[in-house]
C-alpha cells in the first residue's frame, strides 16, 4: 500500500473511531495494530457500538460472523481490524475511480 493510501485510510479510520493525534504517517502494520487495539477495547466495553460501526462502514455481515467465530484462526480483534482496513482501502479506491471533477467556471454548468 502506498503512503498516500495509508494516510487516507488512517484519516478515515481516525474519523470513524474518534481517534485523535495520528497525524504522523503510519505503516500498514502500525495501522492494523492501532485498529486491532481499538476493536479489542470495543469488544470488551462497547460491542453494540462496534457492530453498529461495522454496519455503517459496510463491512459484510458474513465476514464479521466468520471473524467472530471459532473457525477463524486469528483473534477476533485482529480479524475485524483487517476487515475494517480492507473495506476502507476499497472505499478510497472506489472514490478515486469515480472521482468527479468540479467545473472551473460556474458558467460551465448546463441547466
Per residue in 58-110, pLDDT (tens digit) is 999 999 999 999 999 999 999 999 999 999 999 999 988 888 777 676 665 66
The DSSP-derived string for 15-40 is HHHT-----S---HHHHHHHHHHHHH
Q: Which pLDDT does position 28 carry in this prediction?
A: 87
**CB within 8 A of 83, min separation 6: which ones?**
54, 59, 60, 63, 64, 67
3-state secondary structure of 94: helix
Question: How far is residue 70's CA from residue 88's CA, in Å, rounded to a whole number?
Answer: 25
Q: Can you give the pTM of this predicted structure?
A: 0.82
Amino acid at each position: 500500500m502506498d503512503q498516500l493510501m495509508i494516510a487516507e485510510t488512517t484519516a478515515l479510520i481516525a474519523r470513524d473511531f474518534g481517534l485523535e493525534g495520528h497525524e504522523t504517517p503510519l505503516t500498514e502494520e502500525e495501522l492494523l495494530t492501532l485498529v486491532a487495539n481499538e476493536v479489542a477495547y470495543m469488544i470488551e466495553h462497547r460491542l453494540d457500538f462496534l457492530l453498529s460501526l461495522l454496519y455503517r462502514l459496510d463491512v459484510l455481515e458474513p465476514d464479521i460472523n466468520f471473524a467472530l467465530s471459532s473457525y477463524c484462526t486469528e483473534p477476533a480483534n485482529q480479524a475485524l481490524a483487517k476487515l475494517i482496513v480492507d473495506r476502507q482501502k476499497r472505499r478510497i479506491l472506489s472514490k478515486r475511480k469515480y472521482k468527479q471533477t468540479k467545473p472551473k467556471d460556474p458558467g460551465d454548468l448546463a441547466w
